[in-house]
């Protein structure tokens, strides 16, 4: 049965882990198209995986600062339901991507402290969903997937007009507290269900989904 809080498992690269996410009730499965990431899935692989995802589970493509040519090429191959923009895309770029591809866009915003909060409002105006993630640690090479949390009290009790997802360092141990503190109705994670960077584990995926309230 699907948990009440909708869950996205991101960075899937094998049929076994996609099947684990789907059967344990994930609402979204994510494919990572960031070449430098250990979670990268080549478009042909992602296409094969995506074709096996049942109706009712949304397929999300995670990209970082991709231009139209790269997105054209990706979307020719992989049947996606959402694009997740996880780089330094400006609000104007979010609008352009929505208009060009006709797909809903999830825009990631990184939080470290209260100064980062206004960005959520800026993207709320143009994106279909906002993904509220931890800002990468200083010196990190990846824009996300770093397994770090932010101070959830920063967003406790806040309301936005668009659907949003909580991300950043979520694990089986902390997800219930994160949801209770922030009021999130959707959560997203990648490294918290891995045994090594980029290596997802079906048992960890099932345990995480069982722990989501
Ligand atoms: O996972 C990656 O490699 C990645 C690379 C570049 C941008 C985003 C990436 N991952 C996304 O980051 C958040 C949080 O991840 P984590 O749970 O802290 O590991 C999530 O949306 C991932 O999809």
| ipTM confidence score | 0.98
d(CA 45, CA 12): 10
In the chain, % of residues over pLDDT 70: 99
pTM: 0.97
Please check whether residue 210 is in contact with residue 30, taking contact to mean a CB–CB distance below 8 angstroms: no
Question: By three-state DSSP, how is residue 167 classified?
Answer: coil
What is the position in ligand 1's atom list of the atom closest to the CA of 149?
18
Look at the chain and count its residues. Answer: 213
Please check whether residue 164 is in contact with residue 183, taking contact to mean a CB–CB distance below 8 angstroms: no
The pLDDT tens digits for 101-115 are 999 999 999 999 999
173 versus 1: the higher-pLDDT residue is: 173
What local confidence, expressed as pLDDT, does residue 13 receive?
98
What local confidence, expressed as pLDDT, does residue 1 receive?
62
> Domains (ranges, CATH) in the chain?
6-211 (3.20.20.70)
- Alpha-carbon separation of residue 168 from 81, 109, 192 (angstroms): 22, 11, 9
Indicate the top mutation candidate among 82, 89, 127, 167 to test ligand 1's pocket, ranked by most ligand atoms within 8 A of CB.
167
């Amino acid at each position: 049965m699907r948990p009440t809080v909708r869950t996205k498992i991101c960075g899937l690269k094998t049929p076994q882990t996609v099947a684990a996410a789907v059967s344990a009730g994930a609402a979204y499965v994510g494919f990572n198209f960031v070449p430098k990431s250990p979670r990268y899935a080549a478009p042909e692989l992602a296409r094969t995986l995506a074709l096996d995802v049942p109706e009712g589970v949304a397929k999300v493509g995670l990209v970082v600062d991709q231009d139209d040519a790269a997105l054209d090429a990706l979307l020719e191959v992989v049947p996606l339901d959402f694009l997740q923009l996880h780089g330094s895309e400006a609000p104007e770029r979010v609008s352009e991507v929505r208009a060009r591809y006709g797909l809903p866009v999830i825009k990631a915003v990184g939080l470290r402290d209260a100064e980062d909060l206004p960005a959520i409002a800026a993207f709320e105006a143009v994106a279909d969903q906002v993904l509220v993630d931890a800002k990468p640690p200083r010196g990190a090479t990846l824009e996300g997937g770093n397994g770090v949390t932010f101070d959830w009290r920063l967003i406790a009790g806040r309301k936005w007009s668009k659907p949003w997802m909580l991300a950043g360092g979520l694990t089986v141990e902390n997800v219930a507290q994160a949801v209770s503190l922030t009021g999130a109705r959707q959560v997203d994670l990648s490294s918290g269900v891995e045994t090594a960077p980029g290596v997802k584990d079906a048992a960890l995926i099932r345990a995480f989904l069982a722990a989501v309230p």
